[in-house]
Amino acid sequence: MSTTTDILERFDLFADLSNETLAQIARLTSEEVHPEGTTLFSEDASAEKLYLILNGKVSLEKIVQLGRTGTPRRAVISAVGPGFTVGWSSLVPPYEYTSSGICLEETKILSIPGTKLRALMTEQPEIGSIISQRVASIIRQRMTNATGTLTYFLSIVSHELKRPLAAVENYLQILIGGYAGELSPKQQRLLERSTLRLSDLRNLISDILDFARIQPEQIRADFEWVEPNEIGSEAIEEVRLAASQNNIHLKAVAPTEFKQIVSARRRLKQVISNLLANAVKFSPEGSTVTLSAHDEPDALVIEVLDEGIGIPPEDQEHIFDDFFRASNVAEYGGAGLGLSIAKKIMDAHEGKIEVESPYQSGKDGCKFTITIPRTLRIPGGSTLKAEEHQRQSNQSNPSSAVRRGEQ
């Protein structure tokens, strides 16, 4: 028994516990030896045991599927060896394993039934408190390390992939512009379609990177006063080529002037551009995509309306989930990240993004509505009303007032 207590003390979870406590835990343990290829536990199965690795190596793997139509693939999260503990889910509700553990070689372990260890923690609250705090600390540190590594990896991959794509896009623009010689109409169309496909790939890379690293505080740090009509115009320009290729008419419905609003300019344009791009992608030739916006006393309201395939009612509650793709878009490309990123951006703005499909009786299509409150503030700045900020801006730059027709 003393040998087992000595072994337990080497693991972070049980380090520095009293000999009496270690002896109680040791009585719960069983030594096991598993050959290479053995599955210790399976993802989503009932978490019955905690495993302490004495010798060998265990691969932690997870099934990854991008949307309901994607192909399920097993991805390796990490490989751990002696001194590591796996099967934490046996101590944390709902007591279901979040990954699978596969022996990469012959592996010796100490297994502890989760129900018995939890019972001991309940019977002796002091021990339970210590172990619970250590579980939380260890898991938090591992999650932080994993997140940091993933973000760094995606940043490097994103940069390395975007650089050659940007070069190819530049060459295509030179060709399309006629600077390398006259093109036939057919060549022009093919090059424009190639440009669109490259743009789709670049946007997909950006979405994956955003998904890994986008944080509310990063978005709020970029808050500034912005002109809504400028952002809307820029977003429309970003999808104009795709709309032209699909013979889709772009329509803007908005007043000539808006109240300025506090927002992260680049991120707000990203949301609008994403909604417009989706509308164009899922709309038939000859249809119309509309960008509409108007001021309300307490908010800016922006709508994107299309005449496309719509979203099935049973899918609408999941449409903003990570990697979710509606059941009627299997033939279209995409990873199911654009709308989830848009939702994160709007959450950081304390706003809303909502979908209505269909939005007109007897017609297909979608209407996405985003609402941005006027209560946001610039970091380190005041909470000036839009009218007061506009007045100060006009005083410091009279020419801008003249351009907007103000005297």
pLDDT at position 114 is: 95
184: exposed, middle or buried (Cβ count in 10 Å: 0-12, 13-18, 19+): exposed
Question: Any idea which residue has 């019977």 for tokens?
Answer: 123
Query: Whats the size of the chain, residue-wise?
Result: 407
Question: Any idea which residue has 């995606």 for tokens?
Answer: 154
What is the Cα 128 distance to its own chain's centre?
Answer: 35
* Residue 382: how many other CB atoms lie within 10 Å: 9
Average pLDDT score over residue span 315-336 = 80
Mean pLDDT of the chain: 84
Separation of alpha carbons 3 and 147, rounded Å: 37
Average pLDDT score over residue span 360-381 = 87
161: exposed, middle or buried (Cβ count in 10 Å: 0-12, 13-18, 19+): middle
pLDDT greater than 80 at residue 23: yes
Separation of alpha carbons 405 and 231, rounded Å: 19
pLDDT per position as a tens digit, 280-312: 988 999 899 999 999 999 999 999 999 989 999
pLDDT at position 387 is: 52
pLDDT per position as a tens digit, 381-400: 655 554 555 555 555 454 44
pLDDT greater than 90 at residue 210: no
Domains of the chain: 2-123 (2.60.120.10), 136-213 (1.10.287), 217-403 (3.30.565.10)
Nearest alpha carbon to residue 282 among 306, 265, 259, 299: 306
Separation of alpha carbons 336 and 340, rounded Å: 8
pLDDT at position 160 is: 73
pLDDT band of 182, cuts 50, 70, 90: confident
Residues linked to residue 34 through DSSP beta bridges, in sequence order: 107
pLDDT per position as a tens digit, 111-164: 999 999 999 999 999 889 999 998 888 878 777 777 776 667 766 766 677 778
pLDDT per position as a tens digit, 164-177: 888 888 888 888 88
